[in-house]
Chains A and B, each alone.
Chain A
Amino acid sequence: MKRNGSEIEDGRGRELFADLGRQTPPLDDRELRAMARSAAAEPRSPQAASTSLLSRTHWAHPFRWVGATVAVALVVGSGLGFSLGSSLTSPESARASFVGTGFLPAQGWTVVQSGRVDSRGVASAVAANVPLRPEDDLEAVPYATLEALPARGVVIVATFTTRGDPGADFAYPPQALPLQIATATPVPNGLVVPRPLGEYRLRAGIRGTNVDARIYFGTPKPSGELRAAAQRQLNQLAVAAERVTIFARPTIIGEEPVIVYGSVDSGRAGEEVTIQAKDCGSDFFRVFAGTTTRDGGGWSTVIFPRINTTLRAVWKDSASGQVGVRFRTPIFIDRQRQGAGFRVGVFGVRRSFWHKRVLVQRRQGGTWKTVKTVVLTEPAWTKFSLSVPKGSFVRAVLPLSQARPCYLPGFSRTLRT
């Protein structure tokens, strides 16, 4: 359909643009809420407060893929000596010994926390010398409690993340416990809920864990007595450490590299860490890469798996847990350099794809329709002819049935014939 400028001028253009939006099936509330919850489940990284959101730097959100679900993770540290929910703690329980990451409650304090740093590398804890309000949904900042915080109230919110991300570690100087309130930095223009609170921040790298503690006082200028109360609770902070940890991001890849990182519990620089990999189809781990730790025991390196792979880190006689990285089959479709036909195949893979079936699809009537199935006659590619109208959009697809078990399905870029 051709149209002239006047059609557009009379407002038709606006309608056409509106059509673009209307054609898209809307997301329902449930899906939107799930997306929101998923996003909000990730603890806010320290960098978020100081870095522009639009930064493209990967390090700006060091634990974006970690995806901690704080609300779910906030469980009582049973067996760790932690107190429950908003009940006040007796002096006896405050003296209990424990292993874990978080607060042992000081006398008269309430703590809620997740316990150990989980498999995704995140834990959180909230301690308060006032009862936590039930309407707080146990998020990183207990908003309702802070809103009602009396002048003598103190709330400490701590987030624990695994060291190893150099983009984050620099902000967490290695320290020994206990953390000192005297070294906390005041946060200017802190929370106003609705009256101003005193907000202080402490960041430290402790035994392979970065601790980010925010201390809220009920008054902008806390007295020495209040600061001493906060220090008593800070003295009860404990950080457990696995001997060596490993994390990877992203865990589903195409052609991009994978950043693997973690920490060792010695907290020392210069320790050798070996990254071992077990490729799909293999029964054993092989040495894949090596690196050394930085100050605080964190380490990181970049690897390029070309097949579904399981990774682990080995330090001295200890092996970390395992993380899996899955690889999308990199498939291509292009024109032959000579002749009228096309080529289709996979590139940069470690396995033969000989006799695998590739679907060639054409965009037609708003959907992709398979117009041909091509068998790869070479280890990784083949030539074929295709009869479609000039200007058609085509792509190649390697379905899961052909890709598994060692690869994920792959889609080529779209080619205009």
Chain B
Amino acid sequence: MLSADPSPTDPEEPRSQAEFDEEELVRRAQLGSAAAFEQLVVARGPQLYRYLAARLCDESDARDALQETLAAAWQGLPTLRSRSRFWPWVVGIATHKAADVARGRVRATEREPEAPAPDEDSAAEIREALAVLPDRFRQVLLLRYVLHLSEDEVASALGVRVGTVKSRSARARKALEELLR
């Protein structure tokens, strides 16, 4: 089985200075500071882009989805109540935008993996396997294993209960395992 928790974190662990800084940047961005928003994007954008590229199997689509995500995030920041939840919140937006892009363009699930290097067959294999998984499974796996979100954060990002995330994770891992066997 795949490990149930890809990035175990101690809930009691004090939050890092970086997280506090992020909250301050979020606060400023909520008030309308584009400079603060830019800093947030520089800090979180690369991770978000990697997730979108893995999710959409296409760098161009990932760029589009990222731009859409940022536009929506900027518009919606004033509605974000808990600044400490910024990251799962923005990942949730990205997830929806990725779904929109996948629906609106070439169906990502029918695509061959994007540019696997010759010595990276195994990753290509994972991509192919992911491509045939149902979308709700693929989302959970990518959020957990590419973005290393906790189950709680995945639940927040997808707007589902933690129990749903757990069951989807388990079923997704099992399905993936069968596909890779």
Contacts and interface: CB of A to CB of B under 8 A. Distances in A.
B160 interface: no
A49 interface: yes
A366 B106 contact: no
Q: Which of A36, A52, A146, A363 has the most CB of B within 10 A?
A: A36
A40 B37 contact: yes
B78 A37 contact: no
A52 B79 contact: yes
Contact of A5 (B1, B33, B126, B141): B1
Interface stretch (A133-141, A273-281, A299-307, A316-324): A133-141
B66 to A, nearest CB: 7
Nearest to A135: B35
A29 B62 CA distance: 16
Contacts of B92: 54
Interface stretch (A10-18, A102-110, A203-211): A10-18
The B interface, classified by DSSP as helix, strand, loop or mixed, is helix
Contacts, number: 197
Contact of A21 (B50, B66, B114): B50
Interface string A20-62: 1111111101001101111111101100111111101000010
A288 interface: no
Given A1-B122, A20-B123, A36-B38, A53 B72 contact: yes
Interface stretch (B13-21, B39-47, B161-169): B39-47
Contact of B75 (A24, A35, A45, A395): A45
A254 B101 CA distance: 13
Contacts of A191: 31
Q: Which of A20, A146, A363 has the most CB of B within 10 A?
A: A20
Contacts of B87: none
A384 interface: no
B113 interface: yes
Interface string A224-268: 000000000000000000000000000000100000000000000
Contact of B42 (A20, A29, A143, A366): A29
A156 to B, nearest CB: 14
Given A39-B73, A54-B93, A413-B107, A9 B42 contact: no
B104 to A, nearest CB: 8
A25 B6 CA distance: 23
B31 A141 contact: yes
Contact of B121 (A1, A8, A21, A22): A1
A342 interface: no
Contacts of B49: 24, 26-27
A13 B38 contact: no
B32 A139 contact: yes
A20 B80 CA distance: 30
B133 interface: no
B120 interface: yes
B126 A53 contact: no
Interface of A: 1-5, 8-9, 11, 13-14, 16-27, 29, 32-33, 35-42, 44-45, 48-54, 56, 61, 64, 71, 137, 139-143, 146, 191, 193, 254, 363, 365-367, 393, 395, 411-416
Nearest 7 interchain pairs by C-beta: A141-B32, A53-B76, A17-B145, A366-B115, A36-B41, A40-B34, A39-B70
